[in-house]
Amino acid sequence: MTTLDPLAPPAAGTARPALVLALASVGAILATLDLFVVSVALPSIGRDFPDASLSDLSWILNSYAIVYAALLVFMGRLAERFRRNRSYLAGVALFTLGSAGCALSGTLQVILCFRVIEAIGAALMTPTSLGLVLAAFAPEKRSAAARLWAAIGGFAGALGPVIGGFLLIFGWQWVFLVNVPIGLAAILIGLRILPDIPGQKVPWPDLTGTLLATAGVALWIYGLITAGGQSWSAPGAWIGQIAGLALLAIFALHCLRARRPLIEPALFRNRIFTSATLALAPFMIAFGAFLLARVTWEQAAWGWSPFRTGLILAPGPFLVPLTSMLVANRLIARIGAPAVIVMGLVAFAASQMLTALGYGLTPSVPLSLSAAVLSGIGVGLALPTLMGTGAGALPASYFSTGSAVLNMIRQTGMAMGIALVVAVAGQAAATAPALAAFRLAWWVTAGCALVAIVPTLMIRPPAPDPGSRG
């Protein structure tokens, strides 16, 4: 069993940790942004493939989400054995290749194949991205660095609709092509400036555990997606969720008994990490539901274009990194991370309550902007602090694996939130019944955010982070 060393010094040769953070954040931006940019492009893609149904087109999103979430832990664990910098750049290269292939595809089936390649690359570059950041910074600065990394990723994801709406002016292919120059630049610069961060002497990933975890996550997300697209009583929905949860339960038992488990049980004996993951799950359900419900209602019921919807939503995403860097860091040093997380959860829940109480059949730009600002402040306080708190508590030998667990929870939570909105609210339309359904979805979203307060209160506040001051 690997010795866990939470106080390991930064990697030798890491002279410019801020530069490592900037380059590693490119991976977080690409992987997160892709989920939201592509979603607004589906109607445009459908016009080029008229024989494809909406269900067929939905797999452009679903195939990516399933493969990405299912492989995060495996890729994170595998990457622990190899040089972190090369593993990260390999993930960026795969993602870039998949993006180029999607843009040049002539059939829907070929797009789906390259989407899988994109997802494999994202599953490799996301945990190694955060692993690079954690390895580059001194122990006392890791939480602050992880918060900034999460804030940048959250900003990119929330800004997805407006970027997607702008790119669609030039054609849906640009939704994928835009990743290519960014990925190539990251690879070329990374080969020159990323420090050589060696892997850890950890066992090879357990094959049985890998298959159980991958199949369990894939089946569970498939069940959630089917429930959202059809109904919770559809055979694929309940069979997928039951089978997925059963396999995940078997996986948990296997990890407790295996000699070389995929995820060390010791990782979850860390109270800070475990509490952060338990709080992250319901919050990401709320976050995924929030994005889909807002964009769907404002476009379908209010008649706004994707670009206008994203533009009015933009103040929220811009506030995420600003709130995290300028407000959260100072508050954490004074009152501790748990209190800051609770403040963010309450602010985010309040934005959903405002939406539920104020949104109607008549468009309202001031109300939409107010909800966007309040949600941006809430996300900026809660999400980066949750990610930073959980990642900052990771032992050095589990930077990539622990990061993969956190990111898997982010993705599965968002998938569940999206399915929840579709199942509860259905199709948006300028009718009173549709408005009542969407109001229920917004109230449920607020409730999910408030549920995350309970595990947050179990986080034992760490010592004040000197690197977070200022």
Ranges of each domain in the chain? 17-205+262-468, 208-261
Find the helix packing angle between 17-37 and 108-136, rounded to 10°. 150
Assign 470 a pLDDT band (cuts: 50, 70, 90): very low
- In this predicted structure, the answer to whether residue 121 has a pLDDT above a threshold of 90 is yes
CA distances from 265 to 81, 207, 331, 406, 461 (A): 19, 17, 32, 15, 22
Reduce the DSSP state of residue 71 to 3 states and report it: helix
CA–CA gap between residue 275 and residue 261 (Å, rounded): 21
Tokens, residue 376: 């941006």
Query: What fold characterizes domain 17-205+262-468?
Result: Growth Hormone; Chain: A; (1.20.1250)
- In this predicted structure, the answer to whether residue 467 has a pLDDT above a threshold of 70 is no
Q: What is the DSSP string of 285-309?
A: HHHHHHHHHHHHHHHHTS---HHHH
- In this predicted structure, the answer to whether residue 12 has a pLDDT above a threshold of 60 is no
Read off the pLDDT of each residue in 241-265 and give the average, rounded to a whole number: 88
Read off the pLDDT of each residue in 397-421 and give the average, rounded to a whole number: 77
DSSP-H helix ranges across 323-398: 329-335, 337-358, 365-392
Read off the pLDDT of each residue in 85-89 and give the average, rounded to a whole number: 87
- In this predicted structure, the answer to whether residue 197 has a pLDDT above a threshold of 80 is no
Identify the pLDDT of residue 465.
47
Higher-confidence position of 299 and 319: 319
Read off the pLDDT of each residue in 371-398 and give the average, rounded to a whole number: 87
Element (H, E) at 453: helix 453-456
b (16+ CB within 10 A) / e for 445-470: bbebbbbbbebbeebeebeebebbee
Q: Is the pTM of this model over 0.85?
A: no
Read off the pLDDT of each residue in 88-97 and give the average, rounded to a whole number: 94
- In this predicted structure, the answer to whether residue 368 has a pLDDT above a threshold of 90 is yes
Average pLDDT, the chain: 83
Higher-confidence position of 134 and 432: 432
| Neighbouring C-alpha atoms within 13 Å toward the C-beta of 352 | 29
| Neighbouring C-alpha atoms within 13 Å toward the C-beta of 270 | 21
Read off the pLDDT of each residue in 347-368 and give the average, rounded to a whole number: 94
DSSP-H helix ranges across 137-197: 142-158, 160-167, 173-177, 179-193
Assess contact for 426 and 292: CB atoms under 8 A.
no
Assign 54 a pLDDT band (cuts: 50, 70, 90): low
- In this predicted structure, the answer to whether residue 366 has a pLDDT above a threshold of 80 is yes
Share of the chain above pLDDT 70, in %: 90
Reduce the DSSP state of residue 392 to 3 states and report it: helix
**53-62, 103-112, 120-129, 340-349: range with highest mean pLDDT:** 340-349
Read off the pLDDT of each residue in 387-411 and give the average, rounded to a whole number: 79
CA–CA gap between residue 92 and residue 192 (Å, rounded): 15
Read off the pLDDT of each residue in 388-400 and give the average, rounded to a whole number: 77
CA–CA gap between residue 340 and residue 108 (Å, rounded): 45
Assign 202 a pLDDT band (cuts: 50, 70, 90): low
Higher-confidence position of 25 and 346: 346
Assign 118 a pLDDT band (cuts: 50, 70, 90): very high
- In this predicted structure, the answer to whether residue 115 has a pLDDT above a threshold of 80 is yes
| Neighbouring C-alpha atoms within 13 Å toward the C-beta of 389 | 37
Read off the pLDDT of each residue in 157-168 and give the average, rounded to a whole number: 76
Read off the pLDDT of each residue in 283-298 and give the average, rounded to a whole number: 86
Read off the pLDDT of each residue in 1-20 and give the average, rounded to a whole number: 55
CA–CA gap between residue 462 and residue 391 (Å, rounded): 13
- In this predicted structure, the answer to whether residue 464 has a pLDDT above a threshold of 60 is no
